[in-house]
Amino acid sequence: MSVGLSIGQVAERTGLSVHALRFYEREGLLADPVRRESNGRRVYTEDDVEWLNMCIKFRSSGMPLDTIRKYTDLVRQGRGNERERLALLRSHQEHVAAQIEELNECMRVITHKVTIYQQHLDDGTADCLWVAPSTTADASAAS
Amino acid sequence: MSVGLSIGQVAERTGLSVHALRFYEREGLLADPVRRESNGRRVYTEDDVEWLNMCIKFRSSGMPLDTIRKYTDLVRQGRGNERERLALLRSHQEHVAAQIEELNECMRVITHKVTIYQQHLDDGTADCLWVAPSTTADASAAS
DNA sequence: GACACTCATAGACCCCACTCTAGGTCGTGT
DNA sequence: ACACGACCTAGAGTGGGGTCTATGAGTGTC
């Protein structure tokens, strides 16, 4: 089934650089240190790729490498610590929820500004309303 | 109206450190270089605080300081470049939308993992299902 | 058998966004 | 008188997350 992938192939299909892949490995982010060919070259399995994709999801949702390492350690230790894994996941879940909240709020503010600029540009009123080269001009647009 | 605020007061009400406030100023993130008392101390206006709050929104939605500086420059230059400001804002808006998308996708994945772990813990099946201290064990939970 | 290519390691380097330090000034309270 | 706390500047240091370099070895093909 799993043919064995070179680091270059894994880089290609995960979008991580080969540098990053080696870096992640050094950092202990792979459940088991990648197998090697006789010549020392890394051989990745499809499972490794799947795991990496999960790490990428974790990273891109703001989980620090350190926490990913903790999670990896738990998984590596095997059965018995499922509660801990769950706690870690839940905590990250909350974190992500908070981020989404925050971004939505930012979005609200930005969209408001965009709308106002757009309106004034449409009106051709821009030249009348933007008076001072100051904070205030933009702030009044923001408020 | 505006009484004039010390850097400490501004730090308190924006949540930025006094260090960060000075840093932001050096970096050209304030529309006009803050006024000073005769003794050289900074005096912030409420407008400055408002502007800073906007910067904070920008930052916390992932806008690099560099881009905030560009926006600030545009505002500082005054009327005539509203199109550019709008373009910058729109571009950031898209960026934020993409981030929200991404986070939602991560959330989906994480929630799925959480659900599965929770199920197995509820079932008490954890000890049977988690077999190997390997990627696979967790990957099967993820899939 | 020469050239290009991919891989290997160890460690240096980079960028970003702060954060902190050193050394000094001012104004107030006791 | 003098200590204290808030402020000032310039610039060094930090932490996270990679990225790049130097150096060398194995493979593939003309």
CB-count burial class (<10 Å; 0-12, 13-18, 19+) for B68: buried
Q: Assess if residue A131 is contained within a domain.
A: no
State the nearest Cα–Cα gap between B59 and chain A, in angstroms: 10
Parent domain of A68? 1-78
User: Where does the pLDDT of residue A136 fall: very low under 50, low under 70, confident under 90, or very high at 90 and above?
Assistant: very low
**Model pLDDT for residues A24-43, shown as the tens digit of each residue:** 999 999 988 899 999 999 99
Token readout for A94 is 């909350």
Q: For testing the chain A interface, which of B76, B82, B90, B120 should be mutated: the one with the most A CBs within 10 Å?
A: B82
**Model pLDDT for residues B8-29, shown as the tens digit of each residue:** 999 999 999 999 999 999 999 9
Do B99 and B61 form a contact (C-beta atoms < 8 A)? yes
Q: Assess if residue A83 is contained within a domain.
A: no
Q: Assess if residue A36 is contained within a domain.
A: yes
Q: Assess if residue B131 is contained within a domain.
A: no
- What average pLDDT does chain B have? 88
Q: For testing the chain A interface, which of B81, B94, B101, B110 should be mutated: the one with the most A CBs within 10 Å?
A: B110
What are the CA-CA distances from residue A24 to residues A66, A137, B12, B102, B106 (Å)? 11, 47, 39, 22, 20
Q: Assess if residue B125 is contained within a domain.
A: no
Q: Give mean pLDDT, residues B106-110.
A: 97
Write down the pLDDT at residue A22: 97
Specify the amino acid at residue A51: W
Query: What is the distance in angstroms measured between the alpha-carbon CA of B12 and the sugar C1' of D28?
Result: 65
Do B113 and B142 form a contact (C-beta atoms < 8 A)? yes
Lowest mean pLDDT among A2-16, B73-87, B115-129: B115-129
Write down the pLDDT at residue A135: 36
User: Where does the pLDDT of residue A127 fall: very low under 50, low under 70, confident under 90, or very high at 90 and above?
Assistant: low
Q: Assess if residue B119 is contained within a domain.
A: no
Write down the pLDDT at residue B3: 81
The answer to whether A63 faces chain B, any CB pair under 8 Å, is no
The answer to whether A97 faces chain B, any CB pair under 8 Å, is yes
In degrees and rounded to multiples of 5, residue A126 shows phi and psi of -50, -50
Q: Assess if residue A136 is contained within a domain.
A: no
What CATH code is carried by the domain that includes residue B70?
1.10.1660.10
The percentage of chain A sitting over the pLDDT mark of 70, rounded to a whole number, equals 85
Contact: B31, A138; criterion CB under 8 Å: yes
Number of domains in chain B: 1
How many whole angstroms separate alpha carbon B43 and alpha carbon B77? 22
Token readout for B58 is 């920008």
Higher pLDDT, B114 or B3: B114
- In this predicted structure, the answer to whether residue A56 has a pLDDT above a threshold of 90 is yes
- In this predicted structure, the answer to whether residue A59 has a pLDDT above a threshold of 70 is yes
- In this predicted structure, the answer to whether residue B135 has a pLDDT above a threshold of 50 is no
Of B12, B99, B3, residue with least CA distance to B44: B3
How many whole angstroms separate alpha carbon A25 and alpha carbon B30? 42
Write down the pLDDT at residue B2: 58
Q: Measured on CA atoms in the order A51, A52, A55, A56, is the torsion positive or negative?
A: negative
Q: Assess if residue A23 is contained within a domain.
A: yes
User: Where does the pLDDT of residue B45 fall: very low under 50, low under 70, confident under 90, or very high at 90 and above?
Assistant: very high
